[in-house]
Amino acid sequence: MRIAIIGAGLAGASAALALAQAGAQTAVFEQFALRHDKGSSHGPTRLFRTAYFERPDYVPILKRALAGWRRLERAAGETLFHQTGVVEAGPPDGFLMPGLARAVAEHDLPVERLSRAALKRDHRNLVLPEHFDAIFEKDAGFILSDRAHGALLRLARECGARLAPDTRVTRWEPAKDGVAIWTAQGKEIFDRLVIAAGSWANALVGVEAAKIEIAEMSVFWRKPATRDFNLDAGFAPFGVETQDGEFYYGFPAIDGDGVKLGEHTRRSAIASHADRTDAPAPGEEAMIDTFLERFIPALAHRPGAHQRCLYEMSADGDFLIDRHPLCDRVIFLAGLSGHGFKFAPVLGEAIAAMAHGQATPAEWEFLSLRRFAASP
């Protein structure tokens, strides 16, 4: 089977590896250089969480992804995932802690409720209000995302995938026995097409219900004065919901840039990629330091690097994975930003199964386009 993939970001790379391993003749078309910084897959780290406050339906997939990261590490011959545990905290009446409680109860997940004494002993740099609840999720941690993305592409190539950087697919259409795609080099016919174009998906998918929002947000680094914030000191990644409903996350210092921090809920929507900016949004950096003043005082006002990131979000914030309603030989996935990277090892498996004519795996069904269909 000949299969084309549009996009060599995280989703396209994971699909390429799974398809090539399954024996498909796989070609990956990327409009930019491989591992570029114009999309949503670059950056040094991503959180991995199993207790999913967003909705418990993701948990069975994440349990398999946890084992999948270890398999990928063995195949790549390098460390890609640090299973450090993650501290998660927030007000008991917010969205984070009730969401975590639902996921933990429904799937019997191993988490530890943190007492004030445990917080002071094991996570002394994190200062929480007295009324906040906190847990430690031991199966969680963080992914070395740039390294993982590179490993996926390298392994896909080693398994026979053809990688075509700087090759933009301008359009596609159903063909008599497959799908035709057009690039500057001309027309090619494939048996199947996978659209994994990230924030460029709207023009290629062309389905209103599948339309994604393009947005920007920033991540910042703060350089600690001591070594208390690195892995050796036991500083764990964290996710904290504030009393105002903001969600901040952070990672241990893994290099000279220091501790990476971001806020997940406040994004700046943009109309097109031409509207992208490099500078933080007004007040964005001050917001980070206001959070640090209250929750991690030792990092407040210690400026470091900054990176502007691109988000591509579906209408409800969940992924979109489905066959195209006008051509069942086309599979598309979109809306992964904010929480897609952690699913990489099993994301490709689902796409590979669908490309080979199998039904959408049952655990992924809740992410189909049908959820946006009008009620009868």
- CATH fold group of domain 2-42+146-211+317-372: FAD/NAD(P)-binding domain (3.50.50)
Which residue bears the tokens 């989703």?
A: 11
pLDDT in tens, 60-116: 999 999 999 999 999 999 999 999 999 999 999 999 999 999 999 999 999 999 999
pLDDT in tens, 180-231: 999 999 999 999 999 999 999 999 999 999 999 999 999 999 999 999 999 9
Rounded Cα distance, 93 and 166, in Å? 49
Pairing state between β 86-90 and 238-241: parallel
pLDDT of 112: 97
DSSP 99-124: HHHHHHHHHT--EEEPPHHHHHHH-T
pLDDT of 374: 54
How far is the first Cα of the chain from the last one, in angstroms, to the nearest whole number?
38
Give the pLDDT band of residue 375 (cuts 50, 70, 90).
Answer: very low
Rounded Cα distance, 301 and 317, in Å? 32
What pTM was computed for the model? Answer: 0.96
Q: Domain residue spans in the chain?
A: 2-42+146-211+317-372, 86-138+213-313
pLDDT in tens, 296-343: 999 999 999 999 999 999 999 999 999 999 999 999 999 998 889 999
CATH 3.30.9.10 at 86-138+213-313, yes or no: yes
pLDDT of 373: 83
pLDDT in tens, 273-299: 999 999 999 999 999 999 999 999 999
Fold equal for 2-42+146-211+317-372 and 86-138+213-313: no
Look up residue 360 and give its DSSP letter: P
Tokens for 48, please give them.
């991995």
pLDDT in tens, 120-175: 999 999 999 999 999 999 999 999 999 999 999 999 999 999 999 999 999 999 99
